[in-house]
Amino acid sequence: MRFRSKYRSERTKNRTAAATRKEAAATWYGRLVFAYAIWQFVALMLEYSAPAFVFESSRLLNVTNIPSYPSIVSFLLLTLIALGLLRRQRPALWMSVILWQGLSLVLSAVAGILIFLYPRLGGKTVAVGDQPILIASTILAILFIILGIWMRSAFPARLAPGAWRRAGGIIVFGLTASALFAFSALEFSTIGRIRLRSAISWSVSVALGLSPSDPPFRSTIAGYHWVEIGSEIISALTLIAATVVFLRAAPHDAQQDQNDELAIRRLLLTTEPSDSLGYFATRDDRQAVFSPDGRAAISYRVILGVCLAAGDPIGDRRSWPAAIAKWLEHARAYGWVPAAVSVGESAAHAYRAAGLHPMMLGDEAVIEVSDFRLGSASLRSVRKAVAGPVNAGYRVQVRRQADIPRQELAELIAVADVWRRGGPERGFSMASGRLGNARDARTVIVTAHDCSGRVCGLLSFVPWGRRDLSLDLMRRSPEAISGVTELMVTELIAAADQLGVTQISLNFAMFRESFARGARIGASPLQRLNRKLLVFASRWWQLHSLYQSNEKYRPRWRPRLLCYDSTAQLTQVLAAVLQAEGFIPELPSLFRRRSRAAQLDRPETAAQLADAVLAQEKALFTPVLPGRRLTEQQRVRLDKLARLADIGMDPYPPDVPRTVSLAQVHRDSRTVSVVGRVVRMRDHGGVLFADLREGGEERQIMFTLDRPSAGMELWRTTVDRGDLVSVTGQVCLSRSGELSVHVESWTMAAKCLAPPPDKHLGLRDPETRIRLRQVDLALNDEARRRLLARSTAIRAIREKLTEHGFVEVETPILQRVHGGANARPFTTHINAYDVDLTLRIAPELYLKRLCVGGLDRVFELGRNFRNEGADSTHNPEFTSLEVYQAYGDYTSMRTLTQELVCAAAQAIHGQPVVPRPDGTSLRLDGTWRVLTVHEAVSQAIGVEITPDTPLAQLQDLCREHAVHYTMSMTSGDLVTELYDDFVEPHTTEPTFYTDFPVETSPLTRRNRRNPLLAERWDLVAFGTELGTAYTELTDPVDQRQRLTEQSLRAAAGDPEAMEVDEEFLSALEFGMPPTGGLGLGIDRIAMFLLGAPIRETLAFPFVRPSAHTGKP
């Protein structure tokens, strides 16, 4: 089997390679014939000026047996056959092989007989042309015939039914007309002086393009050249018409199945990212070809023999190559020229891989709604244009087509047709051509109304994928004032949030790069000339004005290209594109079949399709929840849930009986109703025990057979560990003496569908405990105790501050300027006011403004946010305490801090102690150590440093102790780096480190004794900073200078540097009293008091996203 599979695979590869070689040979054969047609055109131009050159060149080129001697008829026939070959029409192949190579082979055989055999039979020696060329042409004829037979499968396009009959009829009729013309003209010129037989013979020879003086005619009539020319023209036109009819492709049923449109719409809604022009694939005059797997499609229209696709292929990009191959095969089967217009760059790569050639057409303007700021300086021209209609009282309505009443929609269609002024409806690749159709319910229609309510402008936008919009129709009343279109566009952008729109595709600008490059400073003379020519051409075509009307919105330009198969067909492709877009009128045809658009005019057909489209869109827009994989335990629990519902017991009732908590159940209690979570069950047959847990307390319940109303059997079949149940019964002692509730009745309070952890091991993994925090709190007494202890500590701190006369306030969390600390902020955006905001790093600046306002003792306990990672001492969002006391300083803040920490420890432990890492206790009611930063660093590294230590010496010390630094760091920065590495991590007992370098404390007052230092301290214990305090800087001049330095750091790329807050500086200029400020990290204080990691003290700490799901 393996050998057979390998053999089949090799055979498939060989077939594919052979097909590729045939395709290449067919392409080059068509190009060769087209090159001969080009030669004939050149030869016709040079025939009278260089006849010798033309004759000799034609004689040499004739070795291929392809006509090379110039004549108008030969040139036209060559061109038509070459185009047929390039379109892969099999009749063109057989015509070239039979008429040229086959006929040449016959003539070569005759010439061989005359040269070699005839003299040997007694005849005279006959000279027949150039014998080497004759031999070469014979060999080539044989090779071309073999080649034609071998590559015939690469020419799939067949003849139209009756092509032979129609072409023969045209030839008979045309040549007869040509002969009659020659005969009539000759009779008129000679007035009967020539015999009738001679006149007929001469006329027939002229009509057939033969020499009248050669056999079989041997006419002596001469001198009537104008009659010969006229007859030859009629004969040439006859041959051309016959060839065109003969090579015409087989007719194609232009009907597109309605299921195809539904399939295309499904692809548009289920594939991301989608093309902005994808919706136009549903035009009524287009057909579609799908990839074999049905996951991609190409929509097209046949115009002038060109199979013209528009926009990118629809659907999954991985299926684009298969869809393109199917489309090319389909086009060649009917003899059409394949081409694709308005394709994006990704699609152009796919088409080029399939053998087509891309050519730049222009760019599509796409507005990113999130980037559009009407108030920005770059959109000044748009604001100016909008001001006119706004001042004139114009108003704009933005609605989905489905929300517009039918009568109003009909009126909009009518005025749009009137404003078109009777011209053709232009657009193929970027227009749907069916405003108001019931299938387009999601189309967005924008209307502008003057002060009297009359409609003055209209825009329609078709859906782009599931969310965005693409311009379909643009109309305005001739009486509307200037700027009405800009007003409609800006109002649509303003309504984008309500519509759920993120991108809006506007018009397409031809030759945009040429306009842009020619207008730049330093443009080359050629670029400027190119731009001038395009501007001149804009007098007839809206090239420049269309570019300018889009450029004013500052859109993102996305290239659009034209992909074609062969340069020889480019003129035909461009003509088809111009006709499709409405620039060239479509010629009427008596033989055109009834179009699908005409069929959809029938009300019943249109209504059926519209209903099917709306039903499909409703189904696709209905959210489908992803299937959930259930474990065996989860399935069992869901089955029990269903059983409870079947017997009428609500598994999640609004209330349940509960008279006491589990902690309140005592021996002297009688009948009680308690609620708890089932943590253990023991079934002994006649007796069933279960342990309920609530708030860290556990109690046993008991079922016995002597109380059948208790529902023991129902409990057995429906209750699992983790369920919350309400139990009513009498308090008693079990045989073992354990306090129990003897169950009389029970009901489910909440069925647990998520199986709890192992009843003996619990949650051991720290990461799992954080992710399943609610389970950990429900089953882990220590986790619950820590959370309650944190709450107790916060309450104690709040009460102590209240005792000291401090007022609790709340300040904004969303801030326009981030400040108060050096840290990277979280950023967000308020859409209603189009303003960027940050989540606060610290409330400091607002609290100081309250001090300016006269609140001399204020504090805030609240959440702050810093855009950093989570570890054992950090969390991106955290709780902090900030306290400000007028007429205090950093020394008075030390005393207050110790009081607050001791009060919190007293509330938790009953005395001012905290646990050490080794398990012992540390008392806090003594005097805490106070050291300056420079003293602490000196003791840590064994070298004395002072505020005056030179920078070079500090750099040497950093290098000696492997402390990283940069040359831009100041002396204060280096001291702080040494402090961070050698002092803070090694501190155990609570210590105040004071007098930091002033450049590291931009909001702190300079030290009264040394201006190089700041009046600031950090409280450190067990290697962690717990808080900091300042003597606040109240000098507005000094404060502005420091914040300006910080802003310069921010401008240089420091994401943690503060910005200049003018409102805060203005408050300082009003006058702020001398103030002491304190900041404590509540999360770290809880760590310190409980001896636990920071995550254990938070209700829900930040959890890193899962590597597999991207979710917590």
Range scoring the smallest mean pLDDT among 217-226, 415-424, 474-483: 217-226
Higher pLDDT, 697 or 217: 697
Tell me what pLDDT residue 602 has: 56
Mean predicted confidence (pLDDT) in 462-483: 89
User: Given the structure tokens 């489910």, which residue do they identify?
Assistant: 748
Residue 869 φ/ψ, nearest 5 degrees = -80, 175
Residue 623 has pLDDT above 70, yes or no: yes
* DSSP-derived secondary structure letter, 1: -
Tell me what pLDDT residue 138 has: 76
Mean predicted confidence (pLDDT) in 1029-1037: 91
Pairing assessment for the beta strands 296-303 and 306-310 based on DSSP bridges? antiparallel
* Residues 276, 280, 281: CA angle, nearest 5 degrees: 110
Q: Return all residues near 853 (Cβ < 8 A) that are at least 6 apart.
A: none
Query: How far apart, in Å, are the Cα atoms of 1112 and each of 479, 628, 1103?
Result: 59, 17, 6
Residues 173, 196 contacting (CB under 8 angstroms): no
570/441 Cα distance (integer angstroms): 38
Tell me what pLDDT residue 6 has: 46
Three-state secondary-structure class, residue 840: coil
Q: Pick from 243-252, 564-573, 581-590, 1034-1043 the range whose average pLDDT is largest.
A: 1034-1043
Residue 123 has pLDDT above 60, yes or no: no
Which stretches within 158-256 are classed as H helix? 163-190, 196-207, 225-247
Range scoring the smallest mean pLDDT among 136-140, 382-386, 1040-1044: 136-140
Range scoring the smallest mean pLDDT among 54-58, 83-87, 529-533: 529-533
Residues 651, 750 contacting (CB under 8 angstroms): yes
709/687 Cα distance (integer angstroms): 14
Q: Would you put residue 462 in left (φ > 0), alpha (ψ -120 to 50) or beta?
A: beta
Choose among 937, 1032, 1039: nearest CA to 981: 937
Residues 353, 447 contacting (CB under 8 angstroms): no
Mean predicted confidence (pLDDT) in 458-462: 92
Confidence of residue 52 (pLDDT cuts 50, 70, 90): confident
Which stretches within 910-996 are classed as H helix? 933-941, 951-960, 971-982
Which stretches within 679-816 are classed as H helix? 712-718, 766-771, 773-779, 781-803
Three-state secondary-structure class, residue 930: strand
* Residues 188, 191, 193: CA angle, nearest 5 degrees: 130
Q: Return all residues near 144 (Cβ < 8 A) that are at least 6 apart.
A: 64, 65, 97, 100, 101
Handedness of CA 908, 911, 912, 915 (dihedral sign): negative
Residue 122 has pLDDT above 60, yes or no: no
Tell me what pLDDT residue 128 has: 47
Residues 991, 931 contacting (CB under 8 angstroms): yes
- The amino acid present at 623, given as its one-letter code, is P
Residues 254, 593 contacting (CB under 8 angstroms): yes
Residues 312, 343 contacting (CB under 8 angstroms): yes
Tell me what pLDDT residue 117 has: 56
Mean predicted confidence (pLDDT) in 380-391: 89
In tens, the pLDDT along 848-903 reads 999 999 999 999 999 988 887 766 667 788 899 999 999 999 999 999 999 999 99
Residue 594 has pLDDT above 90, yes or no: no
Q: Return all residues near 563 (Cβ < 8 A) that are at least 6 apart.
A: 339, 340, 341, 343, 348, 351, 352, 356, 357, 358, 359
Tell me what pLDDT residue 355 has: 87
Residue 184 has pLDDT above 50, yes or no: yes
In tens, the pLDDT along 960-996 reads 999 998 888 899 999 999 999 999 999 999 999 999 9
Mean predicted confidence (pLDDT) in 632-647: 92
Higher pLDDT, 623 or 840: 840
Which tokens belong to 393?
């009282």
pLDDT-above-70 percentage for the chain = 79
Residue 413 has pLDDT above 70, yes or no: yes
Residues 518-537 as b/e (b if ≥16 CB within 10 A, e otherwise) read beeeeeeeebeebbeebbee
673/746 Cα distance (integer angstroms): 9
* Residues 147, 150, 155: CA angle, nearest 5 degrees: 95
Choose among 840, 795, 796: nearest CA to 818: 840
Confidence of residue 178 (pLDDT cuts 50, 70, 90): confident
Handedness of CA 177, 178, 179, 184 (dihedral sign): positive
Residue 1100 has pLDDT above 60, yes or no: yes
Residue 932 φ/ψ, nearest 5 degrees = -75, 155
Neighbours of 1007 (CB within 10 A): 20
Three-state secondary-structure class, residue 447: strand
In tens, the pLDDT along 1056-1095 reads 666 778 888 888 899 999 999 999 999 999 999 998 888 8
Beta strand extents in 268-319 (DSSP E only): 287-290, 296-303, 306-310, 314-315
- The amino acid present at 211, given as its one-letter code, is S
Confidence of residue 215 (pLDDT cuts 50, 70, 90): very low
Q: Return all residues near 421 (Cβ < 8 A) that are at least 6 apart.
A: none
Residues 837, 828 contacting (CB under 8 angstroms): yes
Mean predicted confidence (pLDDT) in 430-459: 88
Mean predicted confidence (pLDDT) in 793-807: 95
DSSP string, 876-908: SEEEEEEEEEET--HHHHHHHHHHHHHHHHHHH
Tell me what pLDDT residue 14 has: 53
Residues 762, 783 contacting (CB under 8 angstroms): no
Using DSSP, how many helices (H) and how many strands (E) does the chain show?
36, 30
Tell me what pLDDT residue 913 has: 93
Rounded to 10 degrees, the C-alpha dihedral 142/147/152/153 comes to 150
As a whole number, the mean pLDDT across the chain is 81
* DSSP-derived secondary structure letter, 317: G
Residue 203 φ/ψ, nearest 5 degrees = -65, -40
1043/817 Cα distance (integer angstroms): 12
276/503 Cα distance (integer angstroms): 9
Residues 35, 69 contacting (CB under 8 angstroms): no
Higher pLDDT, 166 or 696: 696
Range scoring the smallest mean pLDDT among 42-46, 90-94, 1059-1063: 90-94
Residue 398 has pLDDT above 80, yes or no: yes
In tens, the pLDDT along 236-293 reads 777 767 666 655 655 554 445 678 888 998 998 888 878 888 888 888 888 899 999 9
Higher pLDDT, 378 or 820: 378
